[in-house]
Amino acid sequence: MTLNDIVYTNPDAPLADRVEDLLSRMTLEEKISQMLHESPAIERLGVPAYNWWNECLHGVARAGAATVFPQAIGMAASWNVELLSRVATAISDEGRAKHHQAIRQGNRDIYFGLTFWTPNINIFRDPRWGRGQETYGEDPYLTARLGVAFCRTLQGDDPNYLKTVATPKHYAVHSGPEPLRHFFDAVCNPRDLRETYLPAFQACVQEAGALSVMGAYNRTNGEPCCASETLLQKILREEWGFEGYVVSDCGAICDLHEHHKVTKSPAESAAMAVANGCDLNCGEIYHQLNAAVQAGLLKEEQIDTSLRRLLTARFRLGMFDPPERVPYTSIPVDVVECPEHRALARTTAQESIVLLKNEGNLLPLDPAKLKKIFVVGPMAMNQRVLLSNYYGLSENLVTILEGITAAVPKGTCVTCEKGCHEFQKNSFSSPYLLEVEAKQADVIVACLGTTPEIEGEEGAEANSDGGGDRVDIRLPGSQEEFLKKLASFGKPVVLVLTGGSPIAVEWAKENVPAILMCWYPGEEGGAAVADVLFGKYNPAGRLPVTFVKSLDQLPPFEDYAMAGRTYRFMKEEPLYRFGYGLSYTTFSYDNPRLSKDKIAGVEDSVTVSVDVTNTGPRDGDEVVQLYVRDVEASVPVPELHLEGFRRIHVKAGETKTVSLELSGNQLVCYDDEGLPMLEPGVFEISVGGGQPGDSAGGAKTVELTAG
């Protein structure tokens, strides 16, 4: 008998037949062993060991060398779907190369697999959440478009083999508080569930074909997310037609009995999770599945169903086929941290930077006219703010100070002081030294903001008072006091902010002439900041999340109702609006028009077109944004909602026509039961460089009738 006589080893046999053949040869104990994230080898069947846990939020993480791209919230600020696809291509290339190199070295450990637990498409509903930095922001539509691009590209386009597996997470209704996540019940009404929390997951599953979904730690409306019949069976599988596998968040199955108290034992927890559709356990509780079967809590056929999904993924990744049959095995290992990927990291960082203020056109700076630049602040030389969380390692980390120093002529003096601590109070450098350096400088570049040490995942890097979340969204420690001191010296100040979430910089908005938000910008972050400061790159990033003035503008953190949250439901004027961002040039919008003035139903569509002219002195990118306002709804609806966008490059003096498709399905509202309906009535369609009413956006509005 040859290997090809055994069905599961025959690469030419139908996939379903191969899966069934291998499954039929396994004992119950062997089946169960393959449902834990650290799956051991089954030597008698030639099944290699495999660790399902890998991360690639903004680059292959936790496994040594990799290109470090800007954190997810920064990539979202690019508002560039095509760019995220390019980044996902680079990441999946590096992931494949590292995987095969590790196998050649006999390394099958954690973080070298092909099943990536990425992207995080939770809605960043509250700026206090420490993991909001991992998301694509607060808007369901923007999150969905970027998530679909990332998932689709990670998985590749080969008709027979997956490049990697994408795993949108954390399903669903999950965004803090971090210290409560293991026992918290996120209660939301059906309208908010369907209108805000689920759309991005549905898009990633149905449009991108994501093969995996990760459940959340918390409960949603009383049901633990990793064992929720409503979420996993009724919505994900029955309604959306999902055929892939579900993985628990790490340790989440323990929470069923230890914290949620919905079961009384590990065996009951394991049985409940599998019965409701959680196929893979990140953790050890599924070791109890044998006991669960023996006790009659679960049938072996239910275990077979889960394992069938998991084996399908491994076969589609080519793990049981000759390497020469799998196209992605030939990706060379020298693709990792290659010059092309480093250049892409710089491009991505450039596109992510948001110019929040530029009074008197202080920026861009002319390096030829500057004798001395004072770069000051705890983020100037800080490598940690380049890396963020879930990061790989690069030998090419460029801090803000290094980027500025490399960008100016050798005859320019650049000096640097930390000035104050990242988050401790009353920790200043010598006041005399600070004053001397500041008064001698032509310009002060103040590098302030937040760090991964004070915002992040519960139990991980962050050590803030909020257990990963922020209890205060202002500049940490004494940074604002320090900024005021710098401004008092009478020299031009450029504030460069780092961070993964909105920062309430109301004083700076009123008193500092120029402000850049560079997020956690990745390995080339310092170079990208310098490119923007000195005009090598014209900034065009846009905020993917609202910057509120203070916590007083927000509902309680634990409240998952969307009322009063994000630009879609907030009635007060924030510090900076979602979608906001300035440029070194200006744009005008003219001749907004519809292909027709009435839309018949959810299957119908209309084309929205507008002429965009670069009316300023520089070539630059513009982000065209389309918003919808339902002015006659009979049920509660958002104040307005994003339903289209495109980032375009327009030369100085050039006019481009941009057309965006708008479907009837994008005009629906939801009744009290969460059911969608397209009501007859008038809709205001706004298209411009920001929200309607934003003076910097120049938006134009037309009316569309439905019904």
Question: What mean pLDDT is predicted for residues 10-16?
Answer: 97
State whether 37 and 162 are in the same domain.
Answer: yes
Of 313, 335, 357, the position where a domain reaches its end is: 335
pLDDT for the residue numbered 85: 98
Task: Assess contact for 478 and 421: CB atoms under 8 A.
Answer: yes
State whether 124 and 218 are in the same domain.
Answer: yes
User: Domain of 220?
Assistant: 32-335
Instruction: Of 186-195, 327-336, 384-393, 422-431, give the lowest mean pLDDT range.
Output: 422-431
Per-residue pLDDT tens over the stretch 76-103: 999 999 999 999 999 999 999 999 999 9
State whether 327 and 348 are in the same domain.
Answer: no
* Domain contains 563: yes
Q: At what angle do helices 140-155 and 199-206 cross, to 10 degrees?
A: 30
* Domain contains 580: no
Q: How far is CA 376 from the centre of its chain?
A: 30
Which helix (H) or strand (E) segment is 613 a member of? Answer: strand 605-614
- Tokens 């607060």, residue located: 138
Dihedral angle sign, alpha carbons of residues 640, 644, 648, 653: negative
Structure tokens at 567: 């630009």
Per-residue pLDDT tens over the stretch 243-302: 999 999 999 999 999 999 999 999 999 999 999 999 999 999 999 999 999 999 999 999
State whether 140 and 239 are in the same domain.
Answer: yes
State whether 278 and 237 are in the same domain.
Answer: yes
Cα distances (Å, whole numbers) of residue 672 to 70, 281, 571: 39, 35, 22
* Domain contains 8: no
Question: What mean pLDDT is predicted for residues 228-257?
Answer: 98
State yes or no: pLDDT of 492 exceeds 80. yes
Of 509, 542, 569, the position where a domain reaches its end is: 569
Grade residue 2 by pLDDT with cuts at 50, 70 and 90.
low
Helix, strand or coil, per DSSP, at residue 10 = coil
State whether 413 and 476 are in the same domain.
Answer: yes
> For residues 73 and 61, what is the distance between their CA atoms, to the nearest angstrom?
17
State whether 304 and 380 are in the same domain.
Answer: no
**Which is higher by pLDDT, 436 or 445?**
445
The enclosing domain of 164 has a CATH number of: 3.20.20.300
State whether 592 and 551 are in the same domain.
Answer: no
Per-residue pLDDT tens over the stretch 542-551: 999 999 999 9
CA angle 541, 686, 349 (to 5 degrees): 10
Instruction: Of 139-148, 431-440, 588-597, give the lowest mean pLDDT range.
Output: 431-440
Grade residue 694 by pLDDT with cuts at 50, 70 and 90.
confident
Give the closest residue to 303 by CA, choosing from 642, 675, 34, 11. 34
Of 314, 335, 356, the position where a domain reaches its end is: 335
pLDDT for the residue numbered 4: 55
- Tokens 């449009």, residue located: 207
| Residues facing residue 1 across a β-bridge | none
* Domain contains 623: yes
State whether 470 and 417 are in the same domain.
Answer: yes
pLDDT for the residue numbered 539: 98
Question: What mean pLDDT is predicted for residues 482-502?
Answer: 97
Give the closest residue to 214 by CA, choosing from 176, 253, 170. 170
| Residues facing residue 42 across a β-bridge | 47
pLDDT for the residue numbered 1: 45
State whether 520 and 410 are in the same domain.
Answer: yes
Sheet containing 587-594, strands listed edge to edge, beginning at the edge strand earlier in sequence: 587-594, 605-614, 655-663
pLDDT for the residue numbered 631: 95
Give the closest residue to 479 by CA, choosing from 547, 428, 404, 434. 428
Active site residues: 249, 455
> For residues 421 and 693, what is the distance between their CA atoms, to the nearest angstrom?
39
pLDDT for the residue numbered 461: 58
State yes or no: pLDDT of 480 exceeds 70. yes
State whether 71 and 213 are in the same domain.
Answer: yes
State whether 303 and 437 are in the same domain.
Answer: no
pLDDT for the residue numbered 374: 97
Per-residue pLDDT tens over the stretch 360-389: 999 999 999 999 999 999 999 999 999 999
* Domain contains 25: no
- Tokens 């509660």, residue located: 636
Grade residue 466 by pLDDT with cuts at 50, 70 and 90.
confident
Number of domains in the chain: 3
The enclosing domain of 695 has a CATH number of: 2.60.40.10
Per-residue pLDDT tens over the stretch 648-686: 999 999 999 999 999 999 999 999 999 999 999 999 999
* Domain contains 131: yes
> For residues 652 and 511, what is the distance between their CA atoms, to the nearest angstrom?
31
Which helix (H) or strand (E) segment is 50 a member of? Answer: strand 50-51
Grade residue 463 by pLDDT with cuts at 50, 70 and 90.
low
* Domain contains 23: no
| DSSP assigned state of 338 | -
* Domain contains 351: yes
Give the closest residue to 517 by CA, choosing from 559, 556, 546. 546
> For residues 526 and 385, what is the distance between their CA atoms, to the nearest angstrom?
10
Task: Assess contact for 114 and 314: CB atoms under 8 A.
Answer: no
